Structure 1
């Protein structure tokens, strides 16, 4: 017998016992975004490879080593999206959402793909919730995105388990001047740098600031400071951002080595980090990318956004707090312990309940079986109540309502079939 087929390494399944938490987190997050006036955009998983080379940067780790790229039947190079911002900008340009400097507040969610070494909180297929804003050049929108994330942490019970780090990386000209000074300084220590940093010294030297090597970080202690190269506009915008965060009592730390890994960022960058997940400490990250729209063929449009990893977010919730209510949690298990002659009446009663109570989660038992076995399944389901439709009950025009949890778990009452929809409505009115 041939070996069974397994999932691809780094692309795990999400099983039913896991998806309840995901649905709860997604529901809370998307509800919050809608309350702030953000609109959903749904983007394709596959894009032309050139989109990511032009946006992320050809000498980044993502483009050089991590993208899933292939040729289709027309011999065109396509790539599974490694991140969402480039596709969002492409869609906004293609569908003229940014014409005449229109302001847009957009969000999206879905799977992203990078060929990395799988580990806790880092998969090859991972899921992100992304938020992008266009047409607003001032620090107030940067602050709004940070506050929006903070409100989400509050609703998920995570505000005491994440910390905000912010920085400004200035204009392209300022970064180029800093980059030259940084390379000049680090070249003298090249042999002492970690392997990745040695490679990045020529391809992407700013990423060396993010190195996890203690030896490299000790070398960087006396390196040039990016903030010494900032233009006045970037410095002023950063001061405005800090003032807004201070006014709203959002705690933060200025991390002058925070640069982000993608070429398109400028000015404000930020990360929400945690120490509860080991090495994978970044839960949410983003920043301003004012040059990306023109880089992809549009007129210059200011933009800022962020993305959060849903795997890490769910791991963090499981690690440090009580999960939010599971939207899949059953309310009622409908036991049909009747002979086949009465099935139609029982199932009709179940559907009348659903019609009148669309927010109530109810499973109708199918497949027959003894009353005892069905009640075991009802109890195991986690439902708060069982509705019991036996032959005797149905002949009398009633269904039994039995609480399965709490102090009243032994009490049972008969409800007339025609009254069931209203009784259930009152039962879950609170």
Structure 2
């Protein structure tokens, strides 16, 4: 039987998983500084949640969701994105009643979309996202954007570009919608079937079409910025002013259209250009979603958030040759020679590990040369040799793999000695 991993998924093996762990630690650390608390939602939800929350006209809902019927006849879907689930939880658990508003949340975990697998785009992928729900202050928009930029900057990425747009409030979007329909309708037969279907339902999505991106009508399509009412213009101006004051550079791009129906007002993406990509690549995106909480049955609550791909982040770090400060190697490897020394080594391992020291030993009866090779492969800082003679004398021979220095250490002091050495090297 030839059983292989499902297409569009990946095994994250030792040697790579440590990078994931380090990045996840960085996620938790930056969210702590910005006062965002972690939320964990189910991997599958009722299908209707994504139909209503993400939007019936999106590619996600129309083509990419993993949907199945459970034994109770319920339609369930593996989550394709995080915002809808977070908003559902916000409403269901009445987080809008919390004394501290906005509710500032973050998540990190797997998402699922049935897409054509390619570099940086998987069918199971991992996202880090934040949601700030319960405020319509432009300052929270600026904070969320600043948090995303800070995250990438602290990882050492270069060539970042922040792109902003405003999709306007409901009145502005309606005026823009009417203008888009009038613009595209006379030639809609020249566009793909998806665009033809979206003309009346959500013409803004035509601007995000990958098939027809080079059609001449795309270049002179009505700009949303020309249809913003005074309130929307002032809001967008306030966000830009705050970013200017924070010394965060950005570009305004009226063609920026997020791929989810729930966005309005502020929309943004962070892109990267540099060696290894060949062109500008989008690393993450986000925006404001006034009205989504009400769609889920909650009270009027305004929100904003972003989501980024961990896989795409790792690609960017690799392309720019950014070395993450991932701790490599064991603190100590025990070389045991003989049955009794091997049993004693098992006890010593327990003591080392209880003291917070990473340690290991041989379990397949390798000769002394093979055990030393194993210590090298595991990049052990120290190798400790325990044979019959050492055991009788109550000592263990400790060698620094960096300097080659060797020292006989009493067995009773061994753990204390190694712990002291590791603290010196911090």
Give the TM-score band, short-chain normalised.
Answer: over 0.9
Measure how far apart 1:250 and its partner are.
0.9
**Residue 420 (1) aligns with residue 414 (2):** yes
Query: Does the Cα contact within 8 Å between 2:345 and 2:361 map onto a contact in 1?
Result: no
Measure how far apart 1:196 and its partner are.
4.8
**Residue 131 of structure 1: SS of its match in structure 2?**
strand
Give the paired residue count.
421
For residue 123 of structure 1, what is the aligned residue in structure 2? 122
Query: Does the Cα contact within 8 Å between 1:211 and 1:217 map onto a contact in 2?
Result: no
**Residue 111 of structure 2: SS of its match in structure 1?**
strand
For residue 321 of structure 1, what is the aligned residue in structure 2? 321
For residue 307 of structure 2, what is the aligned residue in structure 1? 307
Task: Give the 5 Å matches for 1:122-271.
Answer: 122-158=121-157, 160-193=158-191, 196-212=194-210, 216=214, 218-271=216-269
| Runs of 5+ consecutive residues of structure 2 not aligned to the other structure | none
Deviates more, 1:183-192 or 1:52-61: 183-192
For residue 98 of structure 1, what is the aligned residue in structure 2? 96
For residue 14 of structure 1, what is the aligned residue in structure 2? 12
Closer, same or farther: CA 279–209 of 1 in aligned 2, 3 Å: farther
Deviates more, 1:276-285 or 1:59-68: 276-285
Measure how far apart 1:181 and its partner are.
0.6
**Residue 189 of structure 1: SS of its match in structure 2?**
helix
Closer, same or farther: CA 166–361 of 1 in aligned 2, 3 Å: farther
Match of 2:74 among 73, 76, 82: 76
Measure how far apart 1:335 and its partner are.
2.5
Closer, same or farther: CA 100–27 of 1 in aligned 2, 3 Å: closer
Closer, same or farther: CA 402–116 of 1 in aligned 2, 3 Å: same
Closer, same or farther: CA 403–53 of 1 in aligned 2, 3 Å: same
For residue 24 of structure 1, what is the aligned residue in structure 2? 22
For residue 284 of structure 2, what is the aligned residue in structure 1? 284
Alpha-carbon distance between aligned partners in 2 of 1:288 and 1:103, rounded to the nearest angstrom: 13
Closer, same or farther: CA 37–223 of 1 in aligned 2, 3 Å: same
Alpha-carbon distance between aligned partners in 2 of 1:278 and 1:124, rounded to the nearest angstrom: 24
Alpha-carbon distance between aligned partners in 2 of 1:161 and 1:401, rounded to the nearest angstrom: 47
**Residue 286 of structure 1: SS of its match in structure 2?**
strand
Q: RMSD across aligned C-alpha pairs, in angstroms?
A: 2.0
Closer, same or farther: CA 421–218 of 1 in aligned 2, 3 Å: farther
Query: Does the Cα contact within 8 Å between 2:177 and 2:202 map onto a contact in 1?
Result: no
TM-score (norm 1): 0.92
TM-score (norm 2): 0.93
Query: Does the Cα contact within 8 Å between 1:333 and 1:381 map onto a contact in 2?
Result: no
Alpha-carbon distance between aligned partners in 1 of 2:293 and 2:245, rounded to the nearest angstrom: 31
Alpha-carbon distance between aligned partners in 2 of 1:374 and 1:324, rounded to the nearest angstrom: 29
Closer, same or farther: CA 7–202 of 1 in aligned 2, 3 Å: farther
Closer, same or farther: CA 18–203 of 1 in aligned 2, 3 Å: farther
Task: Give the 5 Å matches for 1:20-99.
Answer: 20-99=18-97
Alpha-carbon distance between aligned partners in 2 of 1:194 and 1:403, rounded to the nearest angstrom: 67
| Runs of 5+ consecutive residues of structure 1 not aligned to the other structure | none
Closer, same or farther: CA 35–397 of 1 in aligned 2, 3 Å: farther
Query: Does the Cα contact within 8 Å between 2:164 and 2:266 map onto a contact in 1?
Result: yes
For residue 361 of structure 2, what is the aligned residue in structure 1? 364
